[in-house]
Amino acid sequence: MCCVLAAVLNLNFGVSRANVNLVLHALRLIVNVTIKLVMMSVRTLNIGTNLQSPVFKLPKDIQTVYSFLQINPVIHRTVCCPTCFKLYPMDISQIPEECSFRKSSRAKACQTKLFQPSKIRKGTMFIRRTPRCYFATQDLQFWLQTFLQRPGIEDALHMTHDTPPKEDIYRSPAWNKAQRHFLGMTSPYNLIFGIYIDWFNPRGNKIAGAQVSCGIIALYCLNLPAHLRYQLENIYIFGLIPPPRLPDIFGTTHIMASLIASIRHLWPTPITVLSSRHPAGVSVIIYVLALIADLQAIRKVGGYLQPSFSNYLCSFCPCHRENIDDLDKNWSLRSPAEVRIQALKWKACTTLKAQEQLASTTGVRWTPFHDLEYWDPVMNVVLGTMHNWLEGVLEEHLRTYWGVGRNVQLQKILDEQENEERLLEEWTESDASESADELDDLLKDAQDTDRDEDDVMDYDYEMDLTCPPASATPSELDDDFDPMSDHDVLDVLDDSDLNYLNIDETTYKITAEELESIRSCIKEVILPTHVKRLPANLGEASHGTLKAAQYATLFSLILPLVIPEIWNNRDILHNHLFANFCHLVGCTNIVLAYSVSEEEANYFDHLYLKYRQTSQVLFPAFKSKPNHHFARHYPVLFKFWGALAPLSEFPGERLNGIMQKISTNGKNRDIGETMLRHICRRSQLKILMEKEQKDRLEMSEFLQLFYNRKAPSSSTSFKEEKYRDDNHYTKLLEYLCRSTGLNWRPFNMFPHPLQPCILQPDCEYMSQVASLTDKDIFFSCKSSHYGNSSVLYQCHNQEQTGNIDCIIHAKLSYGEDVKHTTFFLIERHREILPQEWQHNPYSAHPELRTTVVAAEKWGQIDVVEAQHIISHVIIRLRPKGTFGINSNILLVCKALDRKQHRTR
């Protein structure tokens, strides 16, 4: 236990090696002193006077602890060129002094020195050569054995193989395609992986000082359900690309070639791996299905060029940069066979110039992924939701289109354009009269010479002065416009109306009053505790850059509660802005979902096309970004993957954050290997504790103490109280009779028949709790936390919203069967009156996933069980008169339903 404690302090809490060694020394002294005191007490009782005090031995160094616990991973090191990242085997005697890599057969060699002389303490030169850079990798077969011996892993593999859930990717064409490559050999041990690649700064996300980039290559086992897939212990970290600089395309090729080489021999020929169910070994095959990365890494690793270096803009289709705004053409996907042929041609080029010319024409270069016979270079690349949509499309809409926190340099350019137009407008209005006076003087001087000609000239110039040219700035909107109140803006406003809008050709920016309304909504909205509140000073530089998850919260949860109130039915311009916003939010809710049907994919295509079309007219000063074009391929990817949220970059970014917190010696040569050993030991330690907890109760308590510090799954967060409410008792009794089909009787209905089903209200059989936790999601009674009590749930095959009034743990006994069940008694929200419904702006915009309900209580109680609760909802209270409704209302946003509730 002392060794486990020391390992946890070092690996999980970042306690330094010196301090952990001090803790080991202190523990050794404490235990030995305790043993001596116990022995002295024994001797005073004349018991065992001849017994010698045992000496408690404990390792003195944390490295010895790792060896004692047997949690050291199997790490392979290869010599790596610090410039081109060419890898050399560890037989130093066979490695040249300088790197011999050539980018092409006729190019110059790299010639970077691979070794540096080592110095001993006295300063004399040591004879042995020391490599300047290492590339460390984790042994795949060792990880597979550890992975399959972890408790619960094989059960999860069999579950997804035998009864795959509807959510995630298990019923998608992508998954079926992978299964076909196993040539009919169906097995839960046919492991399908997704590769994640990204770069991070191992010294933290600081701007000042030298920037250091270290790359991580990790593999996710997609056979595991989502709640297990991204746990650190279940991720295979192949290696960390050595810092300090990013590798170029050739360096990336060298690194990825080593990964592909370690994977190729595991398909289609299986290997035998020991597992907990099969101590003698089981056949395992590995298949790589997905490449998950940000846009830059996808191009660098996937074998495509950046748009600035190629005629082609997109890696999915043959779109050119100048066609980025072409919305009429339906871009077809690239042919995988054609991409592979283009990559082989690039590889066969003998000069760098030939490679560059060919790549600029096709946008394709060679990548080691083409060595996998089954690899599809088009569809196996995942277009991430985090970088492309949240930090791409949504960020561009907020910061650039709306001008909330707009880039300072961009805003300066736009201000200069506005000043130029303002000066032009001031000249045409104020200087026109002065020019007319000067013209009158000239006309009077000419009257004595040619009277008739003067009349003509006077006439012409009078026409010019009374009818000046149209200004470049737009005219005001018609004051007599009657805003629509009863119809859907998306349907009633024809697209041709956009052609008649006088849009400012320089910039649109959300007003200060509108921004203040959004900030007020951020402050007022009622959130569950697992949703982080956005900064109340949104748009100011002091709150820093919004993260991807905050963009998702803002557009899917916050803005739908405020934008309809400030834009809908205001004027033509704002009606179109509101429609444009609804298109974007509808797309966002589909992108964030964990299950997307073919109909929803088509609906996304419709909404996104409308969004792009209206954006080009409403925001003409801003050019489309590559992210906007990439997003046009989401419908095809949805139909192939089923959903993209389960394959997002969020787990990888969390892994980057864990890596950044690991303490290293700061030397670039050792950083990669140090972090890799640390993270692997951390995983091995938790697996060891999970194995030991079955036989040792104290190890189970250690796991709860160090790994479940928030709250254990499905546990109560408050002290249980005796159930007392008679109305709740009656409701619960009615629910049990209806749901079980049994005749449940009240406890006080005497006499009872033989073997009755009685709902006992005493503490032994029924108790009330204020809050409970299910997989880090808190559910509370409204008296405890209103946000955690606001839920979307299923009742009588219909979705309802309401607030949890009471949570009851019941021990149900009928016959010989005993069942422990948790019941939620929910006060349902009342719908607004029919005459008020016509004023509800959300009724015409289901894509906002928001509705209006009455704030007034009405006492309707629904009884449901945990599996009927879908998600939390977001609540905002609005006063009487909002939307013309003559009562207080609640705005209820249901966008937290990402279609994950069935897997909870």
- Angle value at C-alpha 822, between 819 and 824, nearest 5 degrees: 145
Q: What is the pLDDT of residues 761-784, one digit of tens each?
A: 765 566 777 778 776 688 999 988
- Angle value at C-alpha 880, between 877 and 886, nearest 5 degrees: 130
What mean pLDDT comes out for the span 824-851? 92
Q: What is the pLDDT of residues 130-161, one digit of tens each?
A: 899 999 999 999 999 999 999 899 999 999 99
Query: What's the pLDDT at 1?
Result: 81
Query: What's the pLDDT at 92?
Result: 83
pLDDT confidence of 125, banded at 50, 70, 90?
low
Reduced to 3 states (helix: H, G, I; strand: E, B; else coil), residue 202 is: coil
Question: Cβ neighbours of residue 452 under 8 Å, at least 6 residues apart?
Answer: none
Which residue in the block uniquely carries the two structure tokens 């509108």?
A: 514
> Residue 85: left if φ>0, alpha if ψ -120 to 50, beta else—which one?
left
Does residue 267 surpass a pLDDT of 90?
A: no
Query: What's the pLDDT at 903?
Result: 42
CA 407 – CA 420 distance, rounded (Å): 20
Q: What is the pLDDT of residues 334-390, one digit of tens each?
A: 999 999 999 999 999 989 999 999 999 999 999 999 999 999 999 999 999 999 999
Query: What's the pLDDT at 763?
Result: 58
Which residue in the block uniquely carries the two structure tokens 């996937």?
A: 302
Query: What's the pLDDT at 291?
Result: 96
Does residue 843 surpass a pLDDT of 50?
A: yes
Q: Which of 43-57, 526-540, 874-888 has the lowest mean pLDDT?
A: 43-57
- As a whole-number percent, the residues of the chain with pLDDT over 70 amount to 82
| Strands of the 214-221 sheet, one edge to the other | 87-88, 75-80, 134-138, 235-241, 214-221, 190-200, 282-293, 271-273
- Angle value at C-alpha 429, between 428 and 430, nearest 5 degrees: 110
How many angstroms separate the most distant Cα atoms in the chain? Answer: 145
Query: What's the pLDDT at 124?
Result: 54
Q: Which of 11-15, 228-232, 346-350, 488-492 has the lowest mean pLDDT?
A: 488-492
pTM: 0.85
Q: What is the pLDDT of residues 746-757, one digit of tens each?
A: 877 777 777 778
Q: Which of 98-107, 241-250, 760-769 has the lowest mean pLDDT?
A: 760-769
- Angle value at C-alpha 123, between 118 and 127, nearest 5 degrees: 40
- Angle value at C-alpha 551, between 417 and 867, nearest 5 degrees: 160
Contact 201, 243 (CB under 8 A): no
Q: What is the pLDDT of residues 476-497, one digit of tens each?
A: 333 333 333 333 334 434 454 5
Choose among 706, 674, 666, 662: nearest CA to 63: 674
Contact 26, 20 (CB under 8 A): no
What mean pLDDT comes out for the span 502-525? 83
User: E-strand spans in 531-591?
Assistant: none
Query: What's the pLDDT at 815?
Result: 65
pLDDT confidence of 210, banded at 50, 70, 90?
low
What mean pLDDT comes out for the span 110-125? 74
Helix axes 62-69, 2-11, angle to 10 degrees: 110
What mean pLDDT comes out for the span 844-868? 92
Choose among 400, 423, 424, 422: nearest CA to 410: 400
Question: Cβ neighbours of residue 870 under 8 Å, at least 6 residues apart?
Answer: 791, 792, 793, 794, 799, 897, 901
What mean pLDDT comes out for the span 576-585? 96
**What domains, with CATH codes, occur in the chain?**
1-69 (no CATH), 75-131 (no CATH), 136-322+366-380+660-687 (no CATH), 397-413+499-643 (no CATH), 721-893 (2.30.30.490)
What mean pLDDT comes out for the span 241-265? 93
